[in-house]
Chain A
Amino acid sequence: MILEYTPEQRAFRAEVRRWMEANVPKTRLPSFDLTQEGFDAHRDWERKLNDGKWGMVTWPEAFGGRALDLIRWLIFEEEYYRAGAPTRVNQNGIFLLGPTMMEFGTDDQKSRFLPRMAAGDDIWAQAWSEPGAGSDLAAVRSTCTLDGDHYILNGQKIWSTRAVFADWAFGLFREPGSERHKGMSLILFSLNAPGVTRRPIARMDGEMVFAEIFLDNVRVPVADRLGDDGQGWHVCMATAGFERGLMLRSPARYQVAASKLIALYEANKAHLPPSMGERVAQHWMDAEAYALSIYSTASRLQAGGAIGPESSTNKIFWSEMDVAMHQTALDILGPRAELLGQPSDGVSSVDWLDGFIFALAGPIYAGSNEIQRNIIAERMLGLPRA
């Protein structure tokens, strides 16, 4: 057990830090969920990252990466969050679809899609949920009907994050007449294809973080199906593993939030009860515990292990930690917590409120925490299905 970085790992950290210090925008970019300008600003940032070869450091060089191992990916993420760099507008692509394509994609698909994904040329959305298929994802009804070397897609998708402005989506469709987990395929389609209509859905704070997607006889080449015909469920579960496991939520974001919370507590300590210190300490411990758990998982994966149902414990832990951490910050801010924007006395608390609203969704997306608890009970602990 070696809990120190090698000189090469330290040098890599220094290299990332230098690049971030020189390139991270000094002012916060406008939201990517509100306007085309905000979305484009984030796409430009993705292009800048790619120019520095930082698009997705774990990917092979042929696809725009640096072929780095998971420990260096963690170091990269640590420096990324430490520098306050913009949220990755393409996280559905690079963190979810990318690893899935690496595992199930054809060489043709990898070379067509991955470099453009790393470069921010294609920003991806996920099109899985439907009005009647949320937690029960196997209830999807949208169809893919084979027509020569094309599929004809029909149906309706919902809760597609980033889909308002994104370029492409990866969706779950079923062969007409098939049932439940059988007959599904994961199909990649352009959100600008004829027959695709997007309708933004406003989040409670007005941001258009997700959209409905309507598909009306959308023609997609069979070559854009990811994985084998009828294997969609299997492929999706692999993606969900990445999503709940280590890729979607690297620990650095929570460690940065914990540090900010400690600073907020220190600045307000004089008029806070001692119990607030205990809460802040607990959140810092949780962020550290999550980081240690991910380092342990990364070390195991590097030694040839696989991600299993424990990815469900990750998802529960980070989502609940995120809510609790923000709640403590808002408790410290007290009557200022509700303020939007910059008040006349100049002390803005809006980042904590934004973070709180975002955190509220954590226990819901990527499979609700109730579903995760079922998975832990049934697959880790062997309890019987209902």
Chain B
Amino acid sequence: MQFAFTEDQLTIAQAARDMLVETCTPADLRKMLEADKPRDDARWSTIAEMGLIGMLAPESAGGLGMSMVDLIGIAEAAGYVGLPEPLVELAGITIPVLARLDDNRGWLDKALAGAVIALGHPSNPFVADADSADALLLADDDDIHLVERSAVTLTRAESFDPFRRLFTVEWTPSAATKVGSDWGDSADRGALLAAAQMIGLAQRCIDLAVAYAKDRVQFGKPIGSTQAVKHMISSAQVKVEFARPVVHAAAAELPLGTLASRARIAHAKIAAGAAADVASRMAVQAHGAMGMTYEVDLHFFLKRAFALNYAWGTPAVHGETVLERITKVRTGPDATFAGELA
């Protein structure tokens, strides 16, 4: 029993976090929006050069053969900066799906070389980043199809979060496009990685609230010196502190694929979503009227948190999984870890 990251894991996550914090500032986000670009090419190249995209791809395919535990801290950092590029989805979900296929038609190699494959997962009604993708993984009932970008027609479904470029896709499934019918644990991965990003988003909202509360003076003193403001910020931090370990445990237990491990992921998604919801609304309150504006950066993170809370299964849907687990599988102090439950 050792519920801690290794030194290597911490080092890799820190390096990725440093890079993301430096290259994806709110000013960078605003520039991207003004230029109406789907991604920042320089940042995307850096992400690829660091090997982050292929972290979970098998070594035999040219990846790093790492695990979800290695990626989870990076997903948290991607949330912290509100990363617009599809690193988390590609590295954590799409590439593992491709790697499971009997014949991925060479797209795993292409993805590891920098191609983007958008993911039309059955869990979600829209396909994110489809316009800038080279190909799309799409669902037709249970079947998985791989379709080139040129073979589909896209209609933008504009999101509250301007960096979520969502599309409905018109396409025609055929025997030639079908590549498999096993989505494996991809829905669980999606929920877990959304949870990790929401932890980062929640912490970012708190950090922004703290910075503003130190700076903003009313009644002759910083508003952050008053207990009313301190207490609402602290309450949000408590939510984060008791969601984060659930996300980390869920990452470690993902490979088990049992009801207990899936309920942990559901719990992670619910808890991280609740933390991000509380933290982002608290941060609006801490900013006062400024919190409602486009001028203050907070909305970038609030919007992403809002969207991710409903993507990859709503809290209510995940709640059903938790309820099933507690009524069908043993609970109690000797039943904490999914690996201990046969």
Contact (Cβ within 8 A) A377 B238: no
Contact (Cβ within 8 A) A262 B327: yes
B124-132, B288-296, B332-340: which one contacts chain A? B332-340
CB contacts (< 8 Å) of A252 on chain B: these are 333
- A-contact bits for B213-233, CB 8 A (1 contact / 0 none): 110000001101111011101
A169 to chain B, nearest CB (A): 31
B218 to chain A, nearest CB (A): 13
Contact (Cβ within 8 A) B327 A266: yes
Of A82, A300, A383, which one neighbours B332 at CB under 8 angstroms? A82
Q: Could you tell me the distance between the alpha carbons of A384 and B225 in the complex, rounded to whole angstroms?
A: 5
Q: Which 10 A-B pairs have the closest CB atoms?
A: A377-B230, A78-B333, A252-B333, A373-B234, A376-B234, A292-B245, A255-B333, A383-B224, A299-B4, A289-B242
A277 at interface, CB cutoff 8 A: yes
B36-44, B47-55, B153-161, B246-254: which one contacts chain A? B246-254
A382-B210, A386-B225 given; A291·B333 CB < 8 A? yes
Of B2, B230, B245, B271, which one neighbours A374 at CB under 8 angstroms? B230
B88 at interface, CB cutoff 8 A: no
A275 to chain B, nearest CB (A): 11
Q: Could you tell me the distance between the alpha carbons of A13 and B225 in the complex, rounded to whole angstroms?
A: 48
Contact (Cβ within 8 A) B227 A251: no
Contact (Cβ within 8 A) B238 A251: no
CB contacts (< 8 Å) of B237 on chain A: these are 313, 376, 380-381
- B-contact bits for A265-302, CB 8 A (1 contact / 0 none): 01000000000011011001110111111011011100
A81 at interface, CB cutoff 8 A: yes
B293 to chain A, nearest CB (A): 23
**Inter-chain pairs besides A252-B333, A278-B319, 4 sampled, C-beta below 8 Å:** A1-B9, A2-B2, A299-B3, A373-B230
Contact (Cβ within 8 A) A303 B4: yes
Interface residues of chain B, those whose CB is within 8 Å of chain A, are 1-6, 9, 69, 206, 210, 213-214, 221-222, 224-227, 229-231, 233-235, 237-238, 241-243, 245-246, 248-249, 251-253, 264, 267, 270-271, 319, 322-323, 326-327, 331-340
Q: Which label, helix, strand, loop or mixed, suits the secondary structure of the B interface?
A: helix
Q: Could you tell me the distance between the alpha carbons of A280 and B322 in the complex, rounded to whole angstroms?
A: 10
A316 and chain B: residue at smallest CB distance: B238
Contact (Cβ within 8 A) B336 A255: yes
Q: Could you tell me the distance between the alpha carbons of A371 and B306 in the complex, rounded to whole angstroms?
A: 31
Contact (Cβ within 8 A) B1 A9: yes
CB contacts (< 8 Å) of A293 on chain B: these are 241-242, 245
Of B9, B214, B252, B340, which one neighbours A383 at CB under 8 angstroms? B214
B154 to chain A, nearest CB (A): 38
Interface size range of chain A in the complex: 35 or more
Contact (Cβ within 8 A) B242 A295: no
A3 at interface, CB cutoff 8 A: yes
Of B5, B69, B229, B336, which one neighbours A295 at CB under 8 angstroms? B336
Q: Interface centre among A9, A256, A277, A285, by most B CB within 10 Å?
A: A285
Contact (Cβ within 8 A) B323 A291: no
Contact (Cβ within 8 A) A296 B248: yes
A323 to chain B, nearest CB (A): 14
CB contacts (< 8 Å) of B9 on chain A: these are 1
A372 and chain B: residue at smallest CB distance: B234
Contact (Cβ within 8 A) A317 B331: no
CB contacts (< 8 Å) of B233 on chain A: these are 377, 381, 383
Of B252, B264, B340, which one neighbours A1 at CB under 8 angstroms? B252
A327 to chain B, nearest CB (A): 18
For this complex, 23 residue pairs linking A to B, each with C-beta atoms less than 8 Å apart, are A3-B339, A262-B326, A280-B323, A280-B326, A285-B246, A288-B264, A288-B336, A289-B267, A292-B245, A295-B336, A299-B3, A313-B242, A316-B234, A316-B235, A373-B227, A373-B235, A374-B227, A374-B231, A377-B224, A377-B234, A381-B210, A381-B233, A384-B222
Q: Could you tell me the distance between the alpha carbons of A378 and B4 in the complex, rounded to whole angstroms?
A: 27
Interface residues of chain A, those whose CB is within 8 Å of chain B, are 1-6, 9, 13, 71, 77-79, 81-82, 251-252, 255-256, 258-259, 262, 266, 277-278, 280-281, 284-286, 288-293, 295-296, 298-300, 303, 310, 313, 316-317, 370, 372-374, 376-378, 380-386
CB contacts (< 8 Å) of B326 on chain A: these are 262, 280-281, 284
A57 to chain B, nearest CB (A): 16
Contact (Cβ within 8 A) B1 A378: no
CB contacts (< 8 Å) of B238 on chain A: these are 313, 316-317, 376
Contact (Cβ within 8 A) A285 B334: no
Q: Interface centre among B221, B233, B336, by most A CB within 10 Å?
A: B336
A3-B337, A78-B334, A262-B331 given; A285·B270 CB < 8 A? yes
B274 to chain A, nearest CB (A): 9
A222 to chain B, nearest CB (A): 40
CB contacts (< 8 Å) of A376 on chain B: these are 234, 237-238
Q: Could you tell me the distance between the alpha carbons of A82 and B226 in the complex, rounded to whole angstroms?
A: 43
Contact (Cβ within 8 A) A81 B333: yes
Contact (Cβ within 8 A) A79 B334: yes
Q: Could you tell me the distance between the alpha carbons of A303 and B10 in the complex, rounded to whole angstroms?
A: 14
A310 and chain B: residue at smallest CB distance: B241
CB contacts (< 8 Å) of A384 on chain B: these are 214, 221-222, 224-225
B251 to chain A, nearest CB (A): 8
Q: Could you tell me the distance between the alpha carbons of A281 and B263 in the complex, rounded to whole angstroms?
A: 11
Contact (Cβ within 8 A) B227 A3: no
A70 to chain B, nearest CB (A): 10
Q: Could you tell me the distance between the alpha carbons of A295 and B221 in the complex, rounded to whole angstroms?
A: 40
CB contacts (< 8 Å) of B206 on chain A: these are 381
Q: Could you tell me the distance between the alpha carbons of A153 and B118 in the complex, rounded to whole angstroms?
A: 74
Contact (Cβ within 8 A) B333 A251: yes
Q: Could you tell me the distance between the alpha carbons of A310 and B245 in the complex, rounded to whole angstroms?
A: 13
Q: Interface centre among A4, A6, A256, by most B CB within 10 Å?
A: A4
Contact (Cβ within 8 A) A281 B333: no
A6 and chain B: residue at smallest CB distance: B1
CB contacts (< 8 Å) of B333 on chain A: these are 77-79, 81-82, 251-252, 255-256, 291
